[in-house]
Structure 1
Amino acid sequence: MRMSSRAALAAATLSCATVLAACGSGTTGDSGSDGDLSVVASTNVWGSVAQAVAGDRIEVESLISEPNADPHSYEASPLDAAAISDASLVVYNGGGYDHFVDDILESIGDDVPTVEAFALFESGEYSDLHSGHDHGTSTDAPASETPTEDEAAHDHAGDDHAGHDHNGVNEHVWYDLATADAVAHAIAEQLSELDPDGAEVYRANAADFHESLHSISDVTTRIADTHADAPIAQTETIGHYLVLSAGLDDVTPTDFTNAIENGTDPSPASIAETRQLLLDKRVGVLLYNPQTEDKVSREMRSAAETSGIPVVEVFETLPEGVDYIQWQTRTAESLAAGLDSAS
């Protein structure tokens, strides 16, 4: 799990005091001088989910929206702090991924309503969207929430696949459809409290979002049915939950992905092992994050392309011109197409 520059963040947070004094400090239900509700998301991934729920009633602001940005290394500005302080609702990933949000919330000391995706992920709630896998915590469900037989088929907590959550906890939970579903419904409930007149709209939009998620889970279910336990590789574990929901086997050397995820240099031995895995065509696809590419990851992509292994790109922010549903559907379809071509 990589962290942003804390030194730069501390400087930005300290300079926020002047900005916040000018902007005014937000309180629960407040949203700026015009009286409208304000929803702020850390990235445009969660901003897209929030916008799907808010609909036409609220314009959601995403602090990180640049397609080539790397949220791990994002440095918060005083304007970011002001936006969070004045927000009616803040939606963010959590789990240390966008730590600048936690730092700003702590520094301003305000009771700003929030929806944290990682906290919902850790709750381990079951749905019909493949939430049966290991969330890094106990996943015992109440009797009324016992997973169906189909969901249980996707529970990798007790098998060899669980070992591929290389750090024990993987914070990239936007690839977990059940978490996206939970975030949408949590946003709907928060907005319903802040804007009772729009409650029916928010809840209906969250229900529509849930139904749209099935366009993605239908693809991952087909992958699990046709390519069960197919070996794949990743340059880093961004797509961990996509891999789990599709029933695939990430065989990338643990030392390699741990180093990439922690922002350190992989050992020569792990680089050689990963390269040989690709050159020997022992995997069906390579999942590749172009937002954090470096010499090593580019070398792995080159090895995959040399061997004719399809490369499936996974991102940390939304590509331009698509929403969450379109993005995740395209990614799942790209994964399916890659595996089909490798069969």
Structure 2
Amino acid sequence: MRLTPSLRAVTAVVGTTLAAAFTLTACGSDSGGPGGSNGDQPNIVASTNVWASVAEAVAGPDVTVTSIIDEPSADPHSYEASPTDAAELTDASLVVYNGGGYDQFVDDVVGGESSGDQLTVNAFDLFEGGAHAGESHEHGSEAGHEGHDHGSVNEHVWYDLPTVEQVARAIADKLAQLDPDNAEKYSANADEFSSQLASVTAITDAIAAAHAGTPVAQTEPTAHYLLEAAQLTDATPAEFTEAVENETDPSPASIAKTRELLQNKQVQALVYNVQTEDRVTQDMRKTAEGASVPVVEVTETLPEDEDYIQWQTGIAQSLSDALG
């Protein structure tokens, strides 16, 4: 799923409107500016509850962390920030978000750059500047996601654990700038979070050791980096997943080919995004279940009562169980 041209235009207009709205909102605010509500303790605002959970793990219980999007049914691609959202983002000491066009409403409000005392952490920028810089991410046998703003690169980087670890380290560094007295605590929390990420990596490494090259299908490429870490092959026609992600109708040929993969058990699992299902994807799920192909559910935001580590561990384990 991605920001369509029409939604991109709407979002741009919304961003302009929100900038004006915030000017009025800020005049009556007593938040004390980027230092937080009491003027001396950092506060963090994240675009989604995914990045809020990562921030909470690093910041600890004494730092206020809020997320703009925390409902499982919300779609960050097309989300339109309210004036209240804009005020929260602009008043935050630190803004943590996905970037890559995924949560464009944040860039529309804060401009995507550190300004004055306000700091930002953009996960996609860390992805592009880190270990994956310069890589060409392939989708099956063809380069996928050409419709994205960043060529063939997939923006769902919260499924890329090395990037998530970089985000945690960056949050610790930014908090140290804002709150030097507690710098060691933030660094230690990032270390602990990193060790917890390693437990998820252990699952994907085990999948890779036992099932490298095993073909699977996806309804859309949300969990691309999970499959990449597990060294699985996404056999889904790129035309199908791109159409689902772009919220357009897949061609009859790509639908037929994807259904054939499932009916004939040419794939060992179907990775299914439950937050963006429609008639076509529901049909694929029914086809998989009818052929006894395991369905692995994934989401784009955290389920209720789960943190990032619990969420990713559950998904990775489900994938392992499906292939086992």
So what's the TM-score if we normalise by structure 1? 0.85
Aligned to 1:16: 22
Question: Following the alignment from structure 2 to structure 1, what is the Cα–Cα distance between the partners of residues 56 and 289?
Answer: 37
Counterpart mapping for 1:142-181 below 5 A: 163=142, 165-167=144-146, 168-181=152-165
1:53-92 superposed matches below 5 A: 53-92=58-97
Asked if residue 121 in structure 1 is aligned to residue 127 in structure 2, the reply is yes
Cα displacement (A) at 1:158: 8.7
Task: Indicate yes or no: 2:3 matched with 1:7.
Answer: no
TM-score of the aligned structures, taking structure 2 as reference length: 0.90
CA RMSD of aligned residues (A): 2.2
- Farther off after superposition, 112-121 or 3-12: 3-12
Aligned residue in 2 for 1:105 = 110
Contact 1:164 1:250 in 2 (8 A): no
Match of residue 204 from structure 2: 220
CA distance in 1, matches of 2:32, 2:232: 45
How does 1:123-142 map onto structure 2 within 5 Å?
123-125=129-131, 135=132, 137-138=133-134
1:164 Cα offset (Å) = 5.5
Aligned to 2:301: 317
The structural deviation recorded for 1:24 is 6.3
Three-state SS of the structure 1 residue aligned to 2:46 is strand
Note the C-alpha offset of 1:26.
Answer: 7.3
- How many Å apart are 1:38 and its aligned residue? 0.9
Preserved CA contact (<8 Å) 1:318 1:324: yes
Distance of 1:286 and 1:334 partners within structure 2: 11
Q: CA deviation at 1:30?
A: 2.0
Amino acid at match of 1:122: E
Q: Report sequence identity in percent.
A: 52
Closer/same/farther in 2, CA of residues 159 and 272 from structure 1, 3 Å limit: closer
User: What SS does the aligned partner of 1:215 have?
Assistant: helix
User: Is 1:35 matched up with 2:40?
Assistant: yes
Distance 1:72 1:304 in 2: 28
Match of 1:196 among 180, 183, 188: 180
Cα distance in 2 for residues equivalent to 1:330 and 1:158: 25
Change (3 A) 1:158 1:47: closer
Alignment partner of 2:257 out of 260, 273, 294: 273
Are residues 1:94 and 2:99 paired? yes
Q: Which runs of 5+ in 2 are unaligned?
A: 147-151
Amino acid at match of 2:77: H
1: CA distance between counterparts of 2:263 and 2:274?
20
Distance 2:160 2:91 in 1: 29
Counterpart of 1:187 in structure 2 is 171
Q: CA deviation digits over 1:46-77, x for unaligned, max 9?
A: 00000000012202101110122221221111
Distance 1:175 1:158, change over 3 A: closer
Letter in 1 for 2:125: A
Structure 1 gap ranges (5+): 126-134, 140-156
